Amino acid sequence: MSRVIECLFPRIARWVQAHGYIEMGYDDYSHSFVRALDIGGMIGEGLEHYPTLDEALQPLEHALAEWMRSHGFE
C-alpha cells in the first residue's frame, strides 16, 4: 500500500489491511459513493456525491476512526 495513503488516511489503510474493505463508486445497490464493509456487512457509508475523492475519503476516515475506537481497535 502506498505510504501516501497510509499517511493521509491511516484508518482506511488499517481497515483494508486488517479488518475489511471499502467500495468506491456507484452501483445499483447503494446510493453512497464510498462505503466501508466487513464480513458482517456495512460499517459505514458516505454521501451520494462529493466534489473530489479527498472529500469522499475524509468522512470515511473519521467514521472508521470512531468505529474502531468504539469497538476496541484503538
Region of 16 (left: φ > 0; alpha: ψ -120 to 50; beta: rest) is alpha
Say what the pLDDT of residue 73 is: 81
Q: What domain range is 11 assigned to? A: 3-70
pLDDT digits (tens, 9 = 90+) for 3-13: 888 999 999 99
- State how many domains the chain has: 1
Nearest to 71 by CA among 50, 44, 32, 31: 44
pLDDT at 52 over 70: yes
**Which SS3 state, helix, strand or coil, does residue 64 take?**
helix
The larger pLDDT score, comparing residue 63 to residue 27, is at 63
